[in-house]
Chains A and B, each alone.
Chain A
Amino acid sequence: MSQNPLLEIKNLQVIIGREENRVHAVRGASLKINEKERLGIIGESGSGKTLTALSILRLLPATGIIKEGEIYFQGKDLLSLSESEMSYIRGKQISIVFQNAAAALNPLFTVGQQIAEVYRFHEGCSAHEAWAKAIEMLDATGIPDPTRRAHAYPNQFSGGMAQRALIAMALVCSPKLLIADEPTTGLDLTIQAQVLDLIKDHVIQSCSSLILISHDIAVIAEVCTNVAVMYAGDVLEVGSLEDVFQSPLSPYSKALLKCFQIEGRGQQPYIAGKVPDLRFQYEGCLFAPRCEFAADICRNRPVLREVKPNHWAACHFT
């Protein structure tokens, strides 16, 4: 990680919810992503993957706040930008594809309109050009008969088509960084593969970077070059796909991978114990209560350090 990273997250802490439901959802997560890298963030639900991604675009829900941390994009601290400066980053420099595309599209505007308006806002072109661009993007994302389909409303699209349209909208301004948050959840298996290929191909062709959030190791292995493993709001391991999947360092990564490798043969393995209650703060390693190697030293939180070249882990035993 010697080159200047495209995006760097340092010690991100996010709190979400009100009063007794306040959850420390992200606890000092740190991440880097270089140009042309495709980083997969893997973790169980509630591990803070999505909130980390939403923090990059400063799109946390109303009850969520970034308590601490810095997020640098091309050297600029995104957290210090004004809302209007931020709106030139969103969609143009960094874009995002949400899960459940059907709900993510405005039901009262045609799909073409929604794509065209994003393009027009960022590129300042004529409405006519923007419309042509929208059709071009629908075509590029594999929507049949795009000239006609551009006039359709989201309710006239199937789930897979809506996801393609949303991808078209995210990519219309050729962003440097694309965030895809579980983009294939809820889609048919065959369509899942198509949508993943679409995202991967586009990112490769446009020489941009990708953050792919998923709880499915297979999805990440299919698309990404690098992996970050998150647990209970912290990043426990980062490295290249081969390093992390072939020789995982953190005990959590090892346990997680084991669950996937033996899948389908007899009894499904699982990690004993449960995720810590995120309403409380903890001094020590978050995984220690479930870790077979846990010892006294684990009462102090391990920091993410470079154990091998470009392979980082947060564990005292590596």
Chain B
Amino acid sequence: MFSWLRESAIFLIRRLISIIIVLLGVCTIAFIITRMLGNPVYLLVGQQADQEILDNLIHQMGLDRPLYEQYFRYLGTVLQGDFGISRYTYRPVLDEIAFRLPATLELVLAAMTITIVFAIPLGILAAARPGSIFDRLCALISQFGVSMPNFWVGLIFIYVFYFLLKILPAPLGRLDATLRAPAEVTRLFLIDSIIAGNFVTFKSALSHLILPAVTLSLSSAPSTLQITRTALIHILSSDYIRTARAYGMPNRSIYYRYALKNAIVPIITMLAMTFGFLMSGTVLVETVFNWPGLGLYAVDSMHHFDYEPIVGVVFLSALFYVLAYLVADIITYTIDPRIRAE
């Protein structure tokens, strides 16, 4: 028992160290890129400023210090969660991110939910009879989903459900303009409105969320379906499944117990990847639906040559990526003894 605890602790510490290394790498790349973009002072004050003001600012911002000193100072602030101040809005980047992250998180979690609820069961059913009509239908639908550009599908959805059918609201943010955000608990409107018991807000939040979430899930659900299917088919043709069959185990246990447990490992790993991918891939969907999330924030900042927010968003995306992988690693570690043995 204690050896198990120790092994798990070693595993966790190793993963955490590798996470820190990855985040350090991201910081370094972000630092290099922002320095390569030129002296931020010129961007800040424009071309006409006189030399004295420029020198003052450069000194004030520490840009006259040696590069390594700048780097460590930068590292120190970033690792404290301080991404500086936006040169466009003059608000701390961290505050902006804290305000916009829940919107993106809600969107991504909704898309993940759709993916998990639909794609995984369909993949499981498709694998049961490869080549059947149902399997081919699934393949066709995934092919269709993959080949449609995200933003275009979003626009079609808006056209059909808002403009033609008038059953969903205009694609403007997370709530009707007349409503106020529910009391902050998780900052996810769907959950907070339930906690507040506010059905009107919940309905509005849901009707705003549904189209962008479905649109976003189109970039994750098809691959999830296909990977679930492929993993299961591969497992079902393995020696150990033949063994279970050879000793008379009923089909139901073979499929839903022996095979599925083996499929969990690749499926979880892929879901972690999907989550990281979606967290950093919401830009187009957020733009189409005017969703006040991180993607839109990053794009807006780029328009204004405002680099601090971009570094912040990139760092955050990386953070979510590694955290998702950490969760997946912990789950597969507990399921698969072969990983524990490594």
Residues on A lying within 8 angstroms of B by beta carbon are 57, 59, 61-62, 83-84, 86-92, 95-96, 98, 100, 103-109, 117-118, 121-122, 153, 155-156, 166, 169-170
Complex contacts, A92 vs chain B, CB 8 Å:
248
Residues on B lying within 8 angstroms of A by beta carbon are 237-251, 253, 258, 261-262, 335-338, 341
Interface centre among A86, A98, A108, A170 (most CB of B within 10 A): A108
- Is the CB–CB distance between A107 and B243 below 8 Å? no
> Which of A90, A98, A122, A153 meets B239, CB within 8 Å?
A98
> Which of B237, B239, B258, B338 meets A62, CB within 8 Å?
B237
- Is the CB–CB distance between B238 and A103 below 8 Å? yes
- Is the CB–CB distance between A117 and B249 below 8 Å? yes
- Is the CB–CB distance between B250 and A121 below 8 Å? yes
State in angstroms the CA–CA spacing of A108 and B251 once bound together: 18
> Which of A84, A89, A96, A155 meets B250, CB within 8 Å?
A84
Chain B nearest Cβ from A230, distance in angstroms = 21
Known contacts A87-B248, A98-B239, A98-B243; A108 and B341 CB within 8 A of each other: no
Nearest first, the 4 closest Cβ-Cβ pairs linking A and B are: A91-B247, A90-B248, A91-B248, A153-B337
> Which of A62, A107, A121 meets B248, CB within 8 Å?
A121
Residue of A nearest to B247 (CB): A91
- Is the CB–CB distance between B248 and A89 below 8 Å? yes
> Which of B240, B245, B250, B258 meets A59, CB within 8 Å?
B245
- Is the CB–CB distance between A106 and B258 below 8 Å? yes
Chain A nearest Cβ from B282, distance in angstroms = 35
Chain A nearest Cβ from B284, distance in angstroms = 39
- Is the CB–CB distance between B243 and A90 below 8 Å? no
Chain A nearest Cβ from B261, distance in angstroms = 5
State in angstroms the CA–CA spacing of A153 and B247 once bound together: 19
Known contacts A59-B246, A103-B240, A108-B262; A155 and B251 CB within 8 A of each other: no
Complex contacts, B338 vs chain A, CB 8 Å:
107, 153, 155
> Which of A62, A95, A109 meets B247, CB within 8 Å?
A95
Complex contacts, B258 vs chain A, CB 8 Å:
106, 109
Residue of A nearest to B261 (CB): A108
- Is the CB–CB distance between B246 and A107 below 8 Å? no
State in angstroms the CA–CA spacing of A108 and B333 once bound together: 11
Interface centre among B240, B246, B262 (most CB of A within 10 A): B246
- Is the CB–CB distance between B248 and A106 below 8 Å? no
> Which of B237, B242, B341 meets A156, CB within 8 Å?
B341
- Is the CB–CB distance between B262 and A90 below 8 Å? no
Residue of A nearest to B245 (CB): A59
State in angstroms the CA–CA spacing of A89 and B237 once bound together: 21
- Is the CB–CB distance between B242 and A108 below 8 Å? no
State in angstroms the CA–CA spacing of A73 and B237 once bound together: 27
- Is the CB–CB distance between B240 and A107 below 8 Å? yes
